[in-house]
Amino acid sequence: MTKITVAKGDGIGPEIMDATLKILQAAGAQLDIEEIEIGEKVYLNGNSSGIASDAWNSLRTTRVLLKSPVTTPQGGGFKSINVTIRKVLGLYANVRPCISYHPFVQTKHPVMDVVIVRENEEDLYAGIEHQQTDDVIQCLKLISKPGTEKIIRYAFEYAKAYNRKKVTCFTKDNIMKMTDGLFHKTFDEVGKEYPDIQKEHWIVDIGAAKLADTPEVFDVIVMPNLYGDILSDVAAQITGSVGLGGSANIGDGFAMFEAIHGSAPDIAGTDKANPSGLLLGAIQMLVHIGQKEVAETIQNAWLKTLEDGVHTADIFKSDNSHRLLGTQAFANAVIERL
Amino acid sequence: MTKITVAKGDGIGPEIMDATLKILQAAGAQLDIEEIEIGEKVYLNGNSSGIASDAWNSLRTTRVLLKSPVTTPQGGGFKSINVTIRKVLGLYANVRPCISYHPFVQTKHPVMDVVIVRENEEDLYAGIEHQQTDDVIQCLKLISKPGTEKIIRYAFEYAKAYNRKKVTCFTKDNIMKMTDGLFHKTFDEVGKEYPDIQKEHWIVDIGAAKLADTPEVFDVIVMPNLYGDILSDVAAQITGSVGLGGSANIGDGFAMFEAIHGSAPDIAGTDKANPSGLLLGAIQMLVHIGQKEVAETIQNAWLKTLEDGVHTADIFKSDNSHRLLGTQAFANAVIERL
Ligand SMILES: CC(C)[C@H](C(=O)O)[C@@H](O)C(=O)O
Ligand SMILES: CC(C)[C@H](C(=O)O)[C@@H](O)C(=O)O
């Protein structure tokens, strides 16, 4: 039994979490679940961080969080829960595999197996903004040496562990010569310790263009926080659906697992959402806590479900090759194939 | 006769400029050309801005620059020529049409007609960076009220002038609530003055994902500088080639026209480059200086060239439907169709 913390979140969060937990349980995952409340209700209760203290207590004990998307209310007073948790728990690496499941999932990019390793604590996400004059507002982009070294080493170690051939780095160091320059320089330096892995660097504009057009030429890509935010959404979406992206937020003592996508309030409560992103995050979690076999069992059953043409609405194609199911029925279809 | 300044640039710059000017001349454009030297040679002559004073003198007179890509040498000491010119001449709007020419140019996105209106002076491009401690480097993101109002108004005026139906705004104001928040708020406010134009806002991560996956749902998109840099490369590339993107940098008294792409040193001097990006920039220039008829003549001849399957290597498809030509021969093919 591994103790984990679970947050069902907002919008479609509760539905996709129920679906995911049902699959994990049916597959025999050894989990002792502690549920916490974060998000909308907590915010509206007057807590501007969206996270109450008993949630922190749970996280300090379990050190592992499986989290549904949450909604941050509009307006200046509320902090992003994602950013707070990443920062407080030191979750410096955000690992986002973006894989095509052609021909089972329709995509313009049938050959795609990219892992985006996103720096997860620094950059413009530090959230330091201020109004300098009536007319000018500033935001600070922070890049640190230790933070940069850590994420770049993580990307190379990940490539090594998963037998990946190439690590690419994206920066805009032709403009930000010091901040992005440090990221690029550190990539070159740390890269030398990994002679068997191919290395390349692209300026993020043309790199992003290549990623959107010919994702098949990439393998692992490491980049600063904000580029990683934008380009992991791009990469997940062009595999066929942003609903297929899972995400691992890794730190030295803590980890959080989630879907790449948001809380989609427009379809909340309609049993339409795809639970796959969160499920794939949960599979990363099972590997992380040492339950690799259960992780593989679920992964295979999920793949078999796609191969059988069983899909939620975001993937469904109305040409008789696909069967359309709701969130919970999709989860049951995965369970049948375990 | 309109006096303009021309800079042939570095890498493939001189080849694509020769091709472009040849077409402009054959079409009867009334241009009195003053050539300036900017870029590599000027940098290496000890001028860290890459622009000598006679170049500024020319620009002050002509107020219009047609510019090939330039190479900035590696290293901390050199400023980007693009950024300097945009800033010194106050070129606040960067207009980048990204259009698919299906079925003549192969693309995964056959229906695409997006104009990216990129703020062109502010954001992280201010280039204010400093090392705070041994471990931490900062870069300032600056967003100003007047700058934001100007670019957003420009986007709506552009949409109105070209009969476009919708203006979309991309920001990351769930994280940068003050800087990107101002951009979003200004979009909402200025948008009210244009009741006949549809308006929408997307967080840049999921907006970028939509743009890369279903560009056909967009029309005009306005965004801060750095997002615009990255996403205009994405949008141009997925039309079939980044070589098809032209770009207008517009200010109140000055304007600069260029290709979206860079100087591609790897193919410089090989007569392989596609001159279309710069040519489309030049067509935007002709409209700007009031030579609309010549602009249309060239645009039509260029389209006819593509329709006849005549292409440079970046577009060429070896299935007998296409004929492969070099840079200069492609220009001649356009001239034959004038
Ligand atoms: C919800 C938001 C704060 C978050 C981010 O910007 O990191 C999300 O987009 C993500 O990618 O996990
Ligand atoms: C060359 C570079 C400074 C420039 C930019 O970042 O703006 C280029 O990428 C562009 O898009 O015009």
- Judged by CB atoms closer than 8 Å, whether chains meet at A226 and B172 is answered as yes
- Chain mean pLDDT for chain B: 96
Please report, for residues A222, A224, B37, B256, the alpha-carbon distance to residue A120 in angstroms, rounded to integers and kept in the order given.
11, 8, 43, 38
For residue B120, being part of any structural domain is answered with yes
Alpha carbon dihedral B55, B60, B64, B65, in 10-degree steps, equals 10
Question: pLDDT band for position B77 (50/70/90)?
Answer: confident
Index of the ligand 1 atom closest to the CA of residue A229: 11
A118-138, pLDDT tens digit by residue? 999 999 998 899 999 999 999
Confirm whether A97 is domain-assigned.
no
Assigned domain for B10 exists? yes
B61 lines ligand 1 (CB under 6 A): no
Distance (Å, rounded) from C-alpha B261 to C-alpha B50? 19
The burial of A299, by beta-carbon neighbours within 10 Å (0-12 exposed, 13-18 middle, 19 or more buried), is given as middle
In this model, does residue B79 exceed pLDDT 90? no
Report residue B180: phi and psi, to 5°: -65, -30
Tell me, what's the pLDDT at A76?
A: 67
Crossing angle (nearest 10°) for helices A204-213 and B225-238? 40
DSSP, residue by residue, A231-282? HHHHHHHHTT-GGG-EEEEE-SS-EEEEESS---GGGTTTT-S--HHHHHHH
Of B184, B217, B238, the domain-final residue: B238
- The pLDDT mean for chain A works out to 96
Share of chain B above pLDDT 90, in %: 94
Nearest to B146 among A124, A135, A177 (CB): A135
pLDDT of residue B76: 67
Tokens of A128: 């330091």
Mean pLDDT along residues B276-285: 98
Percent of chain B clearing pLDDT 70 (strictly above): 99
Pair B158, B261 in one domain = no
Hey, what amino acid is at B328?
Q
The verdict on residue A282 lying in a domain is yes
Number of the ligand closest to the Cα of A175: 2
Q: What domain count does chain A have? A: 2
**Which string of b and e fits A87-102 if b means at least 16 CB within 10 Å?**
bebebbbbbbbbbbbe
Ligand with smallest separation from the Cα of B242 = 2
8 Å CB contact of A262 and B108: no
Q: Please check whether residue A273 lies inside any domain of the structure.
A: yes
Helix axes A327-336, A292-307, angle to 10 degrees: 110
Residues A61, A129 within the same domain: no
Nearest-CA residue for atom 2 of ligand 2: B82
Q: Are residues B289 and B230 in the same domain?
A: no
Is there a domain that residue A102 lies in? no
Last residue of a domain, one of A238, A258, A278: A238
pTM over the 0.95 mark: yes
Instruction: Kindly report the nearest CA distance between residue B287 and chain A, in angstroms.
Output: 28
Question: Are both B156 and B221 inside the same structural domain?
Answer: yes
Confirm whether A105 is domain-assigned: no
Inform me whether the pLDDT recorded for B261 exceeds 90. yes
Q: Is A219 helix (H, G, I), strand (E, B) or coil?
A: coil
CA of B227 to the centre of ligand 2 (A): 11
Residues B273 and B326 in one domain: yes
Q: With 80 as the cut, is the pLDDT of residue A199 above it?
A: yes
For the CA of A86, the nearest ligand: 1
Torsion, Cα of A109, A112, A117, A122 (10° steps): 0
Do B188 and B83 share a structural domain?
no
Domain extent at residue B160: 113-238
Contacts of A229 in chain B (CB under 8 A): 172, 205
Q: For residue B53, how far is its CA from the centre of ligand 1 (angstroms)? A: 46
**Closest approach atom of ligand 2 to CA A174:** 3
Asked if the model's pLDDT at residue A294 lies above 90, the reply is: yes
| Residue with CA nearest ligand 2 atom 9 | B229
Beta carbons within 10 angstroms of residue A133's beta carbon:
9
Please name which of A198, A217, A194, A220 lies closest in space to residue A206, comparing C-alpha atoms: A217
| Contact flag B209-A233 (C-beta cutoff 8 Å) | yes
B270 Cβ partners below 8 Å, 6+ apart? none
CATH code at A72?
3.40.718.10
Q: Do B303 and B311 touch, CB atoms closer than 8 A?
A: no
pLDDT tens-digit readout, B122-176: 999 988 999 999 999 999 999 999 999 999 999 999 999 999 999 999 999 999 9
| Cβ neighbours of B138 in A, within 8 Å | 140-142, 179
